[in-house]
Structure 1
Amino acid sequence: MTLAKHLAKRLTELGLETEVSGQILIVKHEEIANRLKIDNELEVAFVEYQRLRRSVFDPSDFTYAYSTAVEVPLTRLHQEVFRDADEVTFTDERKNTVTICRASYNYMFAHFDSKEYTELFAERVFRLLTYKQINFLRSAQMLFRAPVTATYKSNARRIPANLNSIALERIRSCLAKLAIERHACYEVVKKKPIRSVYKLDNVQESDWLMPRASYEPTLVNYYKVARSSPFASQSFLSYYHILEYYFLRVAEDSLHHQLRTQINRTDFKVNTDGLDKVISLVRKHGSNNDETDMLRKVLQRFVSEDSFIEYINKLETDIGTKIYSKRRQVLGEQIEISLKEGHAISNAANAIKHIRNAIVHSSDRYKRDECHIPLTESEITIGEYVPLVKYFAEQVIYGTATTAEI
């Protein structure tokens, strides 16, 4: 089968009308028709792909095994785009290789044939093909996903039974070397669960009016770092810093009110008994340095509990599960946010402080399930709680804003 016919068959299965004319694939949807050209290089590569005896795409982790090779997609962690090209090859004494470059044609074809392609098709390809009619030929390469990948190729005569595990181990070693020596950081792509709270945080429509308030620049800086970080754990910490910024200020404000109340009493006297009461208040304040309690006071100062409960209810409705209000194991501890007045803020403070501790502590005095290890499954768990700490951070930013000068 030619590549054009193969593409036509697959796109037809996905709901488009197709027609093949030589090396041209015509894609139709309602009144719109677009033409895609099959490049010779793509056609030759497809012939080789069809000849492969071993070709397995694993949708659970996006790995692709073919012949004596295993290819895995990578995600770029560093932000320097204009640096060394994404194309390097590592070798060992047995002439096994690890190559980091754009995905091979084999990977692109295998992904196109897999059930995972339906997600890419729905999110991007369908719109590109049917948004409007283009009067010039476009390359059929637009149909494919071509991420940066790492390919381990074995030079052994017989394919090892555990080739995939060997490949991942060798690839990770090479990625570590690349990060240390060349400052280029990549990580093997992991499949996220379908239940993802990130999908709920869509870009909002704006009225493009200037805000009537001026926001604390330091808090906004923390917020921008949180928003732009590719790591859920780092986003969580930056949002937490916004809350932590007011720990002492809120606590001291509470002390000021207590002192004023004591000093302004009609029966207050500057004698031993009166001064002892003032000293007692100050000492009690100084000894109460529990961060969870300080966090709770900040949240209670700036956040309406009713609004927070309403926010949680909406999140859980959109996600389709009680991800916050039902007790669950989170980084070594049972977490639950009771959606009852007088409990929700306090429970949320306990949850947020626990996750913060799991992120910042890596000492071996903690069990492994109590700590966050970067780029592991715990990143997903923390990501599910980012909407909560982000919500609180935004309330603090709004609550500490001042009226803008006109």
Structure 2
Amino acid sequence: MDDRSTVSEQEAATLLGELVSYDSQNPPGDEAACAEFIYRWLTDAGIDAELVADPYPDRPQVRATIGDGDTERDHLVLNGHIDVVPPGNLERWSVDPFEGVVDADEGRVYGRGASDMKAGVAAAMLAAREVAADGVDGRLTLTFAMGEETAEPGTKTLVENLEADAGIVLEPTELEVQTVGKGLAWYVATISGDAGHASKPHAGANAVDGLFALEESLRAYRERIAERTHPLVGESLCTPTVLEGGTKENVLAEEVEIRFDRRFLPDESPSEIDAEMDDLFEIVRERGFDVTVERTRTYEAAEIPIDATIAETVRDHASTVADAPTDPAGKSAATDQRNLVNDADIPTIIWGPGTPTQAHTADEWAETAYLVDAIEVLCRTIDDRCNA
């Protein structure tokens, strides 16, 4: 089969470099300039696009539609987020993280968000332009969201009330089809004691002692949930990641705060995990300390059958075009797949051209060969599902 796409590696790399050059860090949530660029680019390409003010007017999103919606053919949704995590310590970077450096010799584009996930956004934009030239019998919807990196309702807003047959969330997978994504919940627990002079430790209640009482309970809990496994995304996890507390070396700690990253499987519910995390601190309460436990952020897990039509279609084309793997796979990180699957009831895979190990790293890069192959695969998939 002849190539469906006419996009060159140079053109694809140039667009990705432009997207990276828009500093869309989140936090604080600076997606507006990048969203406006995408909107202008799509409009100039003759694609019906709009800037969406919901849920936050100062952080617009982009939605675009191609095709008349022939009910005999599919309505396919391509989704990507335009926010990126902060670059961190700039001394660890050999390039400006927001220059969008194109290295033609290496076949890479460097910069924050190159793999996660502006490569996926670029692939969707260029594939949409390619198929728009000939028209789409069914319908193709593009959704480019804010706030994914902080679990905000960007994608959820864009797909609300959207009736579609299938979706692709263009996260970095190096063209491997993934049908399940782990859930993520963040918790903060506060242990409260009574301040006092460290020369008389029994005169107060040192919140640090309460924290030490947690050790055995936490170890047992982590071992217990590790027995919960999924064949594609592995075990359930609970990882303490941040610890803060105390006032001064000679003052009994009045308060200690500990934060957790809790990765969970599709058959675990956030409400059940809430109860587990609260029970974890019962031993601390028994020692006389007050404890509060709060879930501060949630990405639900999501899953579709490994042989869902969209999964099989993209696997076949990715294998043909790029010799991509065809074994069933899942993603251990959380994505906006949950909004399409859980909120909009749209069978959706996680699939895209970025390299997953590059996400959130210094000197992040994306390979332009994967990007060009992704555009070709998307064009073939759109033809298969949306055209007669």
Name the TM tier (shorter chain): under 0.3
Higher relative strand content: 2
RCO higher in 1 or 2 (8 Å CA, sep ≥ 6)?
A: 2
TM-score for both structures, normalised by structure 2: 0.20
**Could you say which structure has the higher helix fraction?**
1
* TM-score, normalised by the number of residues in structure 1: 0.20
Which structure has the larger Rg? 1
